[in-house]
Structure 1
């Protein structure tokens, strides 16, 4: 029986959702039962064997839905394999170097046994919601900096860890 994996995400303009969907798709192709869902829509994580939580970064903070999801489900999350990802830098820095988690995510990692955190590039394009986001795009600072091959490589590695653990038990 394949492990059930939840990829929960907090997003404003949908780019973090697309990353989460790519992660779930790679895991499904590896033989896991993975689904990507908005963090705010998940009421119960106990039916999942493992969880990945992703959040867009806004002004140095993880998306509110991701933060609330982790707080609301901390007991259940403490009992299962857990990974975090962030999306946000609007430049190539996430592809060039490892970007540490923002302070709030780092604190959550300390409270829970998060196996790993990775930061992927963000995406902010024409039509983005929010006054600040619109200003960033208007000033030419937007763009799509997501590196889907890197996202897929990371997701495959996480899936491999889960499959290896499942087979060794």
Structure 2
């Protein structure tokens, strides 16, 4: 019986955390005990039946906390269903087409058998941390490109797949 789901995330400015919370809320609405936690704070995944891992993309790389989470828990993740998401394109591309995983995320997918990976648009708004973030904002290329309807639809599909696995 698959009931408890962890949504672990790596984020720098908080927008990936908001996506993770949305995923956990949708899973909760569908009857799962789901919680969103910063990837760096998770010491064990043993009590979870399934895991969703999300990471912000920075210069084409998945957030360090998400990468380290997968590396630390690789063996445990291999024994449960795993979904991955990335957030990052600071344009509408993620809403317009399927954005393939970056090479680093592809390596993560090769280490842990994943059910699916999806890329959502990112968000970088005034106050973003880091020199590169400030440079992007000064150039006028920031903004919020997250599509919460698409995020909720994806999370509902994850819930359906988990429910289907329960009934087998």
Q: Which TM-score applies when normalising by structure 2?
A: 0.98
In the alignment, structure 2 segments of 5+ residues that lack a partner are none
How many equivalent pairs are there? 168
Q: CA deviation at 1:156?
A: 0.2
Tell me, yes or no, if the aligned pair for 1:2 and 1:31 is still in contact at 8 Å.
no
Matching of residues 1-169 of structure 1 within 5 Å: 3-168=3-168
List structure 1 segments (4+ residues) > 2 angstroms apart after TM superposition. Answer: none
Which stretch of the first structure deviates more once superposed, 56-65 or 105-114? 105-114
Residues 121, 145 of structure 1: 8 Å contact kept:
yes
**Distance (whole Å) between structure 2 residues aligned to residue 156 and residue 112 of structure 1:** 22
SS at match of 1:157: helix
SS, match of residue 114 in structure 1: coil
* 1:89 and 1:122 in contact (8 A); partners too: yes
Distance 1:114 1:36 in 2: 18
Say if 1:2 and 1:33, in contact at 8 Å, map to a contact too.
Answer: no
TM-score w.r.t. the length of structure 1 is 0.98
Q: Measure, in 2, the Cα distance between the counterparts of 1:164 and 1:110.
A: 24
Question: Per the alignment, in what secondary structure is the counterpart of residue 115 of structure 2?
Answer: strand
**Runs of at least 5 residues in structure 1 that lack an aligned partner in the other structure:** none
Tell me, in whole angstroms, the C-alpha distance in 1 between the residues paired with 2:78 and 2:146.
29
Question: Structure 1: how far apart are the matches of 2:108 and 2:11?
Answer: 18
Contact 1:60-1:102 at 8 Å conserved across structures = yes
